[in-house]
Amino acid sequence: MLDLLIRHANLPDGQTDVAVAIQNGCISAVVPDQLLASAASIKTLDAEHQLLSPPFVDAHFHLDSALRYGQPRVNESGTLREGIALWGMLKPTLTQADIEQSATQYCHWALANGILAIRSHVDISDPSLVAVQALLNVRSAFKPWLDLQLVAFPQDGLLRRAGAQDNLIRALDMGVDVIGGIPHFERTFQDGTLSIEWLCRLAAERGLMVDMHCDETDDPMSRHIETLTANTVRFGLQGRVTGSHLTSMHSMDNDYAAKLIHLMAEADMRVVANPLINITLQGRHDTYPKRRGMTRVRELIEAGLTVAFGQDCAMDPWYSFGSGDMLEVAHMGLHVGQLTSQAQTTQCFDAVTTQAACVLGLEARGLAPGARADMVLLQANNPSDAIRLRATRLAVIRAGQCIASTPPKVAELSLGSQNISVNWRL
Ligand code: FE2
């Protein structure tokens, strides 16, 4: 007897009318529907030919600063630097309970939107490590439903801020999962290089993954990603290192960028672009034309790299918007990167599902027999439709259990004597 049988589903890879069987929290079969039409199951869910997807994964977020809109005030210049300055004013005023409360609220939004894994950076600049303890508590509280991975992030610089190296090691000892960095924010390019070497050596010693905020600037000479790539090879960290943002690559000389991308592919680097944030933050020092600022997503994917999109921020000192909707992120990434072909549209969907899972090291979480039964049923026919409509999450399923549901979005028109239902699908 199956625990749950989902019938008549469309899958992101283009398969239609598929049945997914679930037993003991795991997927036991993914087959054409007619093969399981008479299978016995405790529960059956008719997907009605809508899209059944692996869950959304946010590969880059900041839970400690989220949901603080207007505190201490809104970022007027819209720049990264003003955001960091505002966060510097705000963070000493936040208690562990404050951070736990807002992070909990955000996790509720995320689960309702079908996000079942988040990689969140946590600022370790303050020696009290209040934010670290808060997010470790949130990680354990949500463990049954959400894979929350934490990155020790030296927001004020690893070398620029006295004590950051010690704080970072203490955060890892407390149970933070991944090593972060911010080389472009150190005082000099040389300090950026030294920070990368120190952090990669530490990752090699401890057997951990690395995820650095890297080259989040429009300066084409900000080339820390080259150093990060070289140190990935030097310390044998291939497949375990992520470069987040990489916006300087947008402005680099094409010849240099081509060589760099080849080296990144050799080192099996992971890349996370954050389109909502970087279309807002970048180009602020340009007059016209204004650069878009997002890294070279198309070229990186074509070179075979794993590329994900992250949300980065929601209602914080850097970004006043955001609602935990990875389809909004994919929608913006598609537009900024002009990724409009059919294949590229699917790649944008993958960038917030399977590719993002890969960045977190959760490769075995797709819709395949043996995987944990984590999935989302969307009010859409296919990935393109899901992005176009920022589709309603009809059901969010974790380990075979439905943990969130939203009614379908349908409007009722009354036009004289005609009553028409509108659901925006062809
Ligand atoms: Fe970030």
Whether 346 and 378 map to the same domain: the answer is no
The pLDDT value given to residue 364? 74
CA of 4 relative to ligand 1 center, distance in Å: 38
CA of 262 relative to ligand 1 center, distance in Å: 25
Q: Which residues of the chain have pLDDT under 50?
A: none
Taking the C-alpha atoms of residue 380 and residue 425, their distance in angstroms, rounded to an integer, is 7
CA of 49 relative to ligand 1 center, distance in Å: 37
Whether 351 and 389 map to the same domain: the answer is no
CA of 84 relative to ligand 1 center, distance in Å: 11
Q: Which domain range does residue 6 map to? A: 2-54+366-411
pTM, entire model: 0.97
Structure tokens at 29: 């079969």
149-163 burial: b if 16+ Cβ within 10 Å, else e:
bbbbbbbbbbbbbee
Report the Cα 155 to chain-centroid distance in Å: 18
Whether 28 and 166 map to the same domain: the answer is no
Inter-CA distances, 172 with 1, 141, 150, 161, 180, Å: 44, 19, 10, 18, 11
The pLDDT value given to residue 365? 76
Residue 48 catalytic?
no
CA of 243 relative to ligand 1 center, distance in Å: 11
CA of 380 relative to ligand 1 center, distance in Å: 30
The pLDDT value given to residue 118? 98
Whether 76 and 34 map to the same domain: the answer is no
Whether 306 and 377 map to the same domain: the answer is no
Final residue before a domain boundary, out of 343, 359, 375:
359
Whether 17 and 64 map to the same domain: the answer is no
CATH of the domain at 36: 2.30.40.10
Tell me the chain's radius of gyration from C-alpha atoms: 22
Whether 227 and 90 map to the same domain: the answer is yes
In a domain, 85, yes or no: yes
Neighbours of ion ligand 1 (CB under 5 A): 312
Bridge partners of 26? 23, 372
Final residue before a domain boundary, out of 359, 378, 401:
359
The pLDDT value given to residue 178? 98
Whether 201 and 186 map to the same domain: the answer is yes
CA of 261 relative to ligand 1 center, distance in Å: 22
pLDDT per position as a tens digit, 202-246:
999 999 999 999 999 999 999 999 999 999 999 999 999 999 999
CA of 85 relative to ligand 1 center, distance in Å: 15
The pLDDT value given to residue 425? 86
Kindly name the residue from 216, 266, 302, 328 that is annotated as catalytic: 216
The pLDDT value given to residue 29? 96
In a domain, 416, yes or no: no
CATH of the domain at 304: 3.20.20.140
CA of 60 relative to ligand 1 center, distance in Å: 6
Taking the C-alpha atoms of residue 229 and residue 268, their distance in angstroms, rounded to an integer, is 9
